[in-house]
């Protein structure tokens, strides 16, 4: 395929692969990047929120020409039942800053732009090329990849697997276990188009201001999962995702769940009159810290979703992908300047740098949250949303009942739904998992 030997081969042109490839090229390395899609982004799905900090560390002036939809000035967190939602909103004019902190993006467009930067930096990108397996030397060290192209082999000092949550190369090569139905969520999403002015009016926005809504509750019908609605420039991304094992166990369909969410009385008016132009599905790693596989070995390392780098609590993933990609790229370039080979022993430096970054610190902090949610799904996604929304209705409905009686009614509903012991236990367990 390509005769020359590369310093590094990057498998995948998503957030982590582009971050890694660009970082290495800027540091003078000869990089080959392989992408199975027709163009970078053609296989990628995200909500999508872009976190400026992670990208700024790779492309400081990205705001000059990146395809950004809106900068986020308002976050709505909703706890939902069939007819209601209780929300916590945070909106601030402080987010109308010179260098906004978060943006909504459209991944296929963003990835094309990101990839242009990568190629401009000197990376050789081959699209429509699926990597089928790793090539190893007699001692088991990874020295290249085989692809589905004719004569499709390429060699490098190190192979970076940026192949995503469903990455087959690493899983089939035994570098990491196959992900389990319990540790990944299946998310489905639609793109709904509306005129910009309608979105502005509907969400109380002006200029490029944007709103994101994150929602949980009975909308997932007892399954562990969340839903979202993000405002783009002239479209709205709406989606819902639940743990795969929950879909498998309950026989609910992902598209049925999405349809129910779109028809919720709190959501439906926001989408009214829109035209759906795409339906997408993707897996999201949800296992957290405990699901992180071995991240490196002789001649290879893993970045992004393939390494399970998602902070499920804060709905962060693309920033962890970019950051792990950047750190992997920096580590490899550093080894090269020292003339150290990319052996497992030398690549422990990658792990060390990850541990020192927010990536591992955050994932470690929430390492017990997936277990907590799994064991208490009934309470977290069913009982508590019902109790909270019912309490709100009792509190706000004016019906001649005195306020002390209303308070008593609310307390009684909580005690009846979950014993005092249960309430305290849930709070204690959550606090322990959170700290």
Partner 1 sequence: MNATVNNGAAAPKVEEKLFQNRYLVDAGRPHITIKAGDTPSAALRSLVTTCPAGCYSLTDKGQVEIAADGCMECGTCRVVTAKTGEIEWHYPRGGYGILYKFG
Q: 77: which strand partners?
A: 88, 214
41 binds partner 1 (CB under 8 A): yes
Quick one: which H or E segment has residue 188? strand 184-193
For partner 1, give the closer residue by CB, 235 or 331.
235
Exposure string over 252-285, b if 16+ CB within 10 A, otherwise e = bebeebbebbbebebbeebbeebeeeeebebbbb
Query: Cβ 96 to partner 1, closest distance in Å?
Result: 26
| 78: exposed, middle or buried (Cβ count in 10 Å: 0-12, 13-18, 19+) | buried
Structure tokens at 161: 């697997």
Structure tokens at 135: 């090539």
> Of the listed pieces 163-171, 200-208, 313-321, 384-392, which binds partner 1 according to CB under 8 A?
163-171
279 binds partner 1 (CB under 8 A): yes
Binder of partner 1 out of 282, 326, 336, 418 (CB under 8 A) = 282
For partner 1, give the closer residue by CB, 4 or 263.
263
Binder of partner 1 out of 28, 60, 195, 265 (CB under 8 A) = 265
Binder of partner 1 out of 121, 205, 276, 430 (CB under 8 A) = 276
Q: What stretches of 39-182 show up as alpha helix (H) in DSSP?
A: 52-56, 107-120, 168-172
> Of the listed pieces 125-133, 291-299, 379-387, 403-411, which binds partner 1 according to CB under 8 A?
125-133
Quick one: which H or E segment has residue 301? strand 300-302
413 binds partner 1 (CB under 8 A): no
44 binds partner 1 (CB under 8 A): yes
For partner 1, give the closer residue by CB, 252 or 394.
252
Q: Residue 378 CB: number of other CB atoms within 10 A? A: 12
CB 102 within 8 A of CB 72: yes
> Of the listed pieces 94-102, 107-115, 138-146, 388-396, which binds partner 1 according to CB under 8 A?
107-115
For partner 1, give the closer residue by CB, 39 or 334.
39
269 binds partner 1 (CB under 8 A): no
CA-derived radius of gyration, the chain: 23
- Residue numbers of the site for partner 1 (CB under 8 A)? 36-38, 41-46, 48, 82, 106-109, 111, 127-130, 147-149, 165-166, 168, 178-181, 184, 186, 188, 190-191, 218-219, 221, 235, 244, 247-265, 276-283
């Amino acid at each position: 395929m390509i005769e020359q030997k590369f310093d590094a081969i990057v498998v995948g042109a998503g957030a982590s692969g582009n971050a890694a490839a660009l970082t290495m090229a800027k540091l003078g390395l000869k990089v080959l990047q392989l992408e199975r899609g027709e163009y970078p982004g053609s296989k990628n799905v995200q909500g999508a929120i872009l976190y400026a900090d992670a990208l700024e560390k790779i492309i400081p002036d990205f705001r000059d020409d990146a395809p950004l939809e809106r900068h986020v000035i308002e976050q709505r967190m909703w706890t939902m039942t069939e007819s209601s939602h209780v929300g916590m909103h945070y909106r601030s004019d402080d987010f109308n800053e010179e260098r906004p902190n978060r943006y909504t993006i459209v991944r296929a467009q963003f990835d094309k732009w990101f990839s242009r930067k990568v190629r401009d930096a000197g990376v050789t990108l081959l699209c429509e090329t699926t990597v089928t397996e790793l090539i190893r030397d007699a001692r088991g060290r990874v020295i290249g990849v085989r692809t589905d192209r004719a004569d499709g082999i390429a060699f490098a000092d190190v192979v970076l697997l940026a192949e995503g949550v469903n990455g087959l190369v690493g899983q089939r090569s035994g570098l990491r276990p196959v992900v389990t139905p319990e540790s990944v969520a299946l998310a489905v999403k639609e793109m709904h188009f509306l005129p910009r002015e309608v979105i502005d009016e509907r969400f109380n926005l002006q200029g490029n201001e944007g709103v994101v809504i994150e929602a949980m509750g009975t909308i997932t019908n007892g399954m562990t999962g969340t839903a979202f609605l993000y405002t783009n420039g002239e479209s709205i991304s709406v989606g819902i995702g639940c743990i795969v094992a929950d879909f498998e166990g309950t026989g609910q369909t992902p598209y049925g769940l999405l349809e129910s969410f779109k028809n919720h009385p709190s959501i439906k008016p926001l989408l009214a009159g829109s035209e759906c132009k795409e339906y997408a599905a993707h897996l999201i790693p949800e296992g957290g810290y405990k699901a992180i596989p071995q991240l490196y070995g002789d001649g290879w390392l893993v970045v992004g979703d393939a390494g399970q780098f998602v902070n499920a609590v804060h709905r962060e993933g693309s920033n962890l992908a970019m950051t792990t990609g950047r750190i992997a790229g920096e580590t490899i370039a550093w080894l090269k300047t020292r003339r150290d080979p990319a052996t497992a022993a030398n690549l422990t430096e990658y792990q060390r740098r990850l541990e020192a970054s927010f990536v591992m610190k955050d994932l470690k902090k929430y390492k017990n949250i997936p277990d907590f949610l799994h064991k208490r799904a009934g309470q977290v996604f069913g009982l508590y949303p019902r109790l909270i929304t019912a309490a709100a209705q009792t509190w706000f409905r004016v019906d001649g009942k005195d306020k002390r009686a209303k308070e008593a009614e609310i307390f009684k509903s909580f005690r009846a739904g979950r014993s005092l012991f249960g309430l305290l236990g849930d709070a204690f367990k959550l606090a322990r998992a959170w700290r």
